[in-house]
Chain A
């Protein structure tokens, strides 16, 4: 049945397709180019990124380096849950961080139902939409984005790209042929729903809170500026 459906459908499509070679089709497509990105809220794309994360109802913290990032995560966990419990994927970048300094002892592996917080090290940040990008694998199992109450995400300043097209260029560069992961996830906010009388409510099925920590040398005024922009734009 399935095979006959396939040949039936393909035959109908052939009758409607233009008789062109793959090469001609490729040239036509290349000539179409790509779309333009959205107008950024600020000239500096790290400021745009933070402003958009805030507009997406995330929260943002700055950390000059990984040692400070550890302290930022520790403070966040203590303020939210009065614990230092954390789950993180087997990401060598997370494993190499000085967790003991902040009294945080991450459990490395897969998030389970009931975990309060998970930490991901994003592959990319996208300034255009305030999204972070992760992909599935040992370093960040798919569940870690979805099951915890709070999702904490580290992203390096130098990994923040301007546009969604730039993001795909980086994804292709960083993922050599044959190593394509089963899932590539753009995340832009805590899980939300507006299905009850169109009221926006956080924590529909996934994390209730989404906390992005920008790692690198970012002046505190940059975050203030981003906060102002997100209020003006929201």
Chain B
């Protein structure tokens, strides 16, 4: 997938210019948090659940070699072939060689952000394989030649008329008109059912890897991943190292957090634990199963100050709660992972040089950290990336001059307070009549889209002092 994170501002402006899409994103930003909050409340002490999973994740990450070894042993005992891939390219090559070894022509894929990260489809298509995405959202964007705009709902940026037109262009529809969303779903169902039945290889991702029994957990509502895992004669699970959890119960704790944070359900329609190829007692299922464990810089991240981003369970809650994501949408971020988690992960998986715009796409409002089920301090990690950007001089000279000036003032608090006080009094006097300013020098970025309110009363420090003094008098 082409990486265009550097053009975040241009993407954002284009995204804001389409009122229909802006409205759909606003609705998403309104309703997804409501669904999540209601589900968290119905659960009970969601904070305790988050804290529990954090302790388990921390323990697992601190002993990752141990748990990865246990998982590998159990998975091999279960009859899987386990492959390691240090890079995206290695994962893609491994998948390709498995397909070729089995003489496969058709590949049916369940939703997998990891294979979006490695751009697996491009590689397979180039090598002459037919690849079909079977998650409805992924299918829609594959037909449209687009990329996911959301890690949970990849096609939520598309309207019903757009999808209808896409299907009219792509499918042989005859008299069918696909008026309702139900018709669209039924159409995709009938097309994809054939694909499941004909596929030579199924590819799925994993929401967790369970060290104690070597199973992979797959969480879906559509059941497409399960069809990929049960119908084709070969199954490949593409996943990453940090999905490991010690026990089945830990996967249940993760599942409780994941689905409530993602869709507001208590459990998705299908939560499946796949452990290997057909057993003696089986009458269906794959004859060969492969698990590919991708690193792609995760071991570097684990050793860095950003290791907590590896706790991310890909629920999408930080996207749904982020004013920037809801404002500009996922495509503005220019790569696979958008929103707050993507703004941390993208620079770490690619380079800060390529994507330093992303850590700046943040108002530090803190909503992402408030709702993150994995308790990842996203605003802190974004701030650290901005600091690194500054240290490595990747930000613009003008910005750096401004920051230096600001820093100098902050180191001289007496002067800062006096100058601040004067400025505010002056602005208060100037703005007294209108209550605000349409334009201010050096602040066109702010006043370009809204008025700057005239200050009322003293500065924060002035008010703070007078209140402390008042309390002392009373006490």
Mark A residues whose CB is within 8 Å of B: 1-2, 5-6, 8-10, 12-18, 20, 22, 25, 28-29, 32-36, 38-39, 52, 55-56, 109-110, 113, 126, 128-131, 136-138, 141-143, 145-146, 164-165, 168, 171, 180-199, 201, 203-207, 233
Q: Closest CB-CB distance, A213 to chain B, in whole Å?
A: 18
In Å, the complex CA distance between A139 and B171 comes to: 38
CA of A38 to CA of B265 in the docked complex: distance in angstroms? 12
B269 touches A187 (CB 8 A): yes
Assess whether B62 is in contact with A17, with CB atoms less than 8 Å apart: yes
Question: Which residues 212-261 in B have Cβ within 8 Å of A in the complex?
Answer: 213, 215, 221-224, 226-227, 229-231, 241, 246-249, 252-253, 255-256
Contacting pair B140 A183 (CB below 8 A) = no
CA distance A185 to B283 in the complex (A): 16
- Give the contact stretch, choosing among B113-121, B189-197, B338-346, B375-383: B189-197
> Which B residues touch A18, using CB under 8 A?
62-63
Contact residue among A17, A189, A204 (Cβ-Cβ distance under 8 Å from B65): A17
B29 to chain A, nearest CB (A): 12
Given contacts A6-B84, A36-B48, contact A180 B213 (CB under 8 A): yes
Q: Enumerate 16 A-B pairs (CB-CB under 8 Å) in ascending A order.
A: A16-B303, A35-B52, A36-B52, A136-B284, A143-B284, A164-B255, A183-B229, A183-B285, A184-B275, A188-B271, A189-B221, A191-B269, A196-B160, A199-B181, A201-B181, A204-B222
Pairwise interchain contact A35-B252, C-beta atoms closer than 8 A: yes
A205 lies within 8 A of B192 (CB): yes
Contact of B53 among A16, A35, A136, A143 (CB under 8 A): A35
Given contacts A2-B94, A129-B267, A198-B156, contact A20 B84 (CB under 8 A): no
Determine how close the nearest CB of chain A comes to the CB of B404; give it in whole angstroms: 36
CB distance from A149 to the nearest CB of B (A): 11
A190 to B221, CA, bound (A): 8
Q: Would you call A131 and B267 a contact (CB within 8 A)? A: yes
- Give complex CA distance A113, B389 in Å: 55
Complex: how many Å from CA A168 to CA B275? 15
Which chain A residues border B153 with CB–CB below 8 Å?
194-195, 198
Q: Is the Cβ of A35 less than 8 Å from the Cβ of B256? A: yes
Q: Is the CB of B253 within 8 A of A34?
A: yes
Number of B residues whose C-beta is below 8 Å from A?
100
Given contacts A10-B65, A35-B53, A168-B249, contact A128 B282 (CB under 8 A): no
- Pick from A29, A185, A191: contact of B59, CB below 8 A: A29
Complex CA gap A185/B268 in Å reads 11
Residues of B within 8 A of A2 (CB): 83-85, 90, 94
The residue in A35, A182, A183 that gathers the most chain B C-beta atoms within 10 A of its C-beta is A182
Docked-complex contact A197 and B159, CB < 8 angstroms:
yes
In the bound assembly, the distance between CA atoms of A18 and B302 in angstroms comes to: 13
Partner of B283, one of A138, A188, A204: A138
The residue in chain B whose Cβ has the minimal distance to the Cβ of A41 is: B42
Asked if residues B44 and A36 are in contact (CB atoms below 8 Å), the reply is: yes
Select one of B68, B192, B215, B275 contacting A13, CB under 8 A. B68
Task: Tell whether A141 pairs with B283 under 8 Å between CB atoms, given A195-B136, A198-B31.
Answer: yes
Closest to A58 in B: B269
What chain B residues lie within 8 Å of A32 (beta carbons)? Answer: 52, 55-56, 59
**Nearest A residue to B81, CB-CB:** A2
